[in-house]
Amino acid sequence: MSEWTLADAPDLSGKTVVVTGANSGIGYEATGMFAVKGATVVMACRSTDRGDRAANEIRAEITDPDLDVRECDLADLASVESFADSVREDYDELHVLCNNAGVMAIPRSETADGFETQFGVNHLGHFVLTGHLLDRIVETPGETRVVTQSSGVHERGEIDFADLDHEDAYGKWEAYAQSKLANLLFAYELQRRLDAADIEDTLSAACHPGYADTELQGRGPEQEGSTIKRYAMTALNAVFAQSAEKGALPLIYAATAPEVDGGDYVGPGGLFGMRGYPEKQRSSDASYDRADAERLWTVSTERTGVTYQFQGPWSASISR
């Protein structure tokens, strides 16, 4: 395909988009891109102070963007539910949900609900958020989308159902890879369940940014207190990474391009999938394992208390 850029994205005037992790990195760049195209962007941020600063930076570069900063801490399911309730109260229509936020390769810790943080934030927090917003997305007229951000590191991932929280043995990269594989299993299973319920106007797709220069890479070394690792990561980014702006293009493509279908996976088409313009790709064989996807869905429901019920043409019961 030709080199797809923001100029190729359709006009989004009148559309509402939710972006998690909107105050930095890929989320920040995507927020600005959606705003340029005319969308109202609900910026879901763990810190509203950082969210407000990010919004002000975007306002300094873009004429009159429609930005709405709201608190959403994916490491605290009560915060996720509160955010979703506020969005449902204030917005009658929701066209795109971008499950973008994440943490990467950090020392072991736990969320407010007792989950290993990478699995809890990257997967379970978004599972809950999507569950609480999905009926509003489905009921919105026209085509709507849920886009979940994964990573090329998912190819190293295995879902350890016997130790999802890595209590017996913790490797920061193994835990990250598991969470990113979980993102894909969730995205594809959501599409299968939408299909089974004959919901044709809502699709679930996934993407990855390649190797993009963001703050994400430095957070693990910072939490470890390792200045050497921090400098090493900065040097690697400078040599090998593409810009965060270019890394955001697969997310924008998956969220807006007319040719995207449910179950698609989008990433950079250049060197080893690490850089370049967005294209449709195939994820790992493990990500298409339906038995694992169904089991992960069941476990996620049990652990969070959030139940999706698909009944044609559409109804949902979500309780926690």
- Which positions are annotated as active-site residues? 176
- Supply φ then ψ for residue 113, to 5 degrees: -100, 5
Tokens for 174? 């193994």
Record the tokens describing residue 89, joined without a space: 């109260």
User: In 3D, which of 189, 89, 196 has the Cα closest to residue 148?
Assistant: 189
Cis link prior to 313 (omega < 30° from 0)?
Answer: yes
| 14/22 Cα distance (integer angstroms) | 20
CA dist 170 and 188 (Å) reads 27
Joined together, the tokens standing for residue 72 give 């959403």
Closest CA to 141 of 20, 317, 260, 314: 314
Beta bridge partners of 49: none
- Alpha-carbon gap, residue 169 to 176, rounded angstroms: 13
Rounded to a whole number of angstroms, the CA Rg of the chain reads 18
